[in-house]
Amino acid sequence: MRVQVKAFGALTDILEKEFYMTAVDTEELLTVLSHQHVALAHRKLLIAVNNRIINDPVVLQENDIVALMPPYSGG
């Protein structure tokens, strides 16, 4: 499925802020991005699909919005 990907925080040093790509699920999306951008390969990320943070792979639908964020920090 073709989805919109948005990168936030320090991830914008590696990825464009917004772009489109094709992926069946979030696991495939991350695999493809990790191969294209080696700096992502071992990075912890928070992933949201349509404004909901996910912990497990999610099957993507056409025009979903996937947000990639660095983990929250601070106190």
Per-residue pLDDT tens for 7-29?
A: 999 999 999 999 999 999 999 99
Q: How many angstroms separate the first and last alpha carbons of the chain?
A: 38
For 21, residues 6+ apart whose C-beta sits below 8 A from its C-beta are 2, 3, 5, 29, 32, 33
**DSSP-assigned states of every residue in 7-57:** E-GGGGGTS-SEEEEE-SBHHHHHHHHHHH-GGGTT---EEEETTEEESS-
**pTM flag (> 0.95):** no
Which residue bears the tokens 């191969």? Answer: 35
Q: Where are the domains of the chain?
A: 2-69
Indicate the class that CATH gives domain 2-69: alpha beta
Mean pLDDT of 67-74: 88
